[in-house]
Amino acid sequence: MNRNAEYDALLRELEQVPDQLEDTVRRAAAKKEASQRRKRFWGIPVGSLAACFAAFVLLVNLFPPFAQACEDVPVLGALAEAVSWSPSLSTAVENDYVQPIGKSQTINGITATIEYVIVDQKQLNIFFTLNSDEYDNLNAEMPRYEPEQICSTIGSNWNQSPGTLLNYTLDYGEGNVPDSFTITFGVTTYVEPETLQDAPLQDYADEMLDPQEEEDPDILAEFTFTLEFDPQFTAKGEIVPVNRTLDMDGQSLTVTEVEIYPTHVRVNVADEPDNTAWLKGLEFYLENEAGERFEPISNGISANGDPDSPAYVSFRLESPYFADSKHLTLYVTGATWLDKDMERVRVDLVNRTAEKLPEGVTFQSAEKRDGGWFLIFQAEQRRENYYHQIWDMIFYDEAGNQYEIQRRATDPLGDGHFEETLPLAEYQEDVVWLQPCYSRITPEITPITIPIK
Partner 1 sequence: MEQMEFIERVETIKSRLYRTALLYLGRESDALEAVDETVYQALRALKKLRQPEFFETWITRILINECHRELRRRSRFSLDGEDALPESAGPDVYDTLPLKEAIRRLPEDLRQVVILRYFAGYTLSETASALDIPQGTVVTRQRRALRLLRLELGEEEFHES
- Residue (32 or 293) nearer to partner 1, CB: 32
User: DSSP assignment of 199-241, as one string?
Assistant: SPPP-HHHHHH--PPPPPPPP-EEEEEEEE--HHHHT--EEEE
Q: Are 222 and 187 in contact (CB under 8 A)?
A: yes
Q: How many residues of this chain bind partner 1 (CB under 8 A)?
A: 30
The 8-class DSSP code of residue 23 comes to G
The span of 18-26, 133-141, 281-289, 313-321 binding partner 1 (CB under 8 A) equals 18-26
Phi, psi of 29 (to 5 degrees): -65, -40
Least separation in angstroms between CB 421 and partner 1: 16
Examine residue 195 and tell whether it contacts partner 1 (CB under 8 A).
yes
The reply to whether 7 sits near partner 1 by the rule CB under 8 A is: yes
**Does 27 sit near partner 1 (CB under 8 A)?**
yes
Query: Which strands sit side by side in the sheet containing 353-354, from one edge to the other?
Result: 353-354, 345-348, 431-436, 391-396, 402-404
In whole angstroms, how close is the CB of 33 to partner 1 at the nearest point?
Answer: 10
**C-alpha angle 302-307-308 in degrees, rounded to nearest 5:** 130
Which range, of 72-80, 196-204, 323-331, 426-434, touches partner 1 by CB under 8 A? 196-204
360: left (phi over 0), alpha (psi -120 to 50) or beta: left
- Residue 35 lies near partner 1 (rule: CB under 8 A): yes
Residues 320-379 that bind partner 1 (CB under 8 A): 367-368
Helix (H, G, I), strand (E, B) or coil at 321: helix
CA 390 – CA 440 distance, rounded (Å): 11
- Residue choice 71, 96, 133, 192 for contact with partner 1 (CB under 8 A): 192
One of 14, 54, 70, 399 touching partner 1 (CB under 8 A)? 14
Q: Does 399 bind partner 1 (CB under 8 A)?
A: no
What gap in Å lies between CA 275 and CA 443, rounded to an integer? 18
- Count other Cβ atoms within 10 Å, centred on residue 69: 15
> Judged by CB under 8 A, which of 29, 75, 107, 219 binds partner 1?
29
The dihedral over CA atoms of 370, 373, 377, 383, expressed in degrees to the nearest 10, equals -90
Q: Is 12 in the site for partner 1 (CB under 8 A)?
A: no
4 lies in the binding site for partner 1 (CB under 8 A): yes
Task: Answer yes or no whether residue 191 interacts with partner 1 by CB under 8 A.
Answer: no
Q: Which residues pair with 368 in a beta bridge?
A: 373
Pick 200 or 250: Cβ nearer partner 1: 200
CB of 427 to partner 1, least distance (A): 16
From 188, 181, 187, select the one nearest 126 (Cα to Cα).
181
The verdict on 214 binding partner 1 (CB under 8 A) reads: no
Q: Which residues of this chain interact with partner 1, rule CB under 8 A? A: 3-4, 6-7, 10-11, 14, 17-18, 20-21, 24-25, 27-29, 31-32, 35, 192, 195-201, 203, 367-368
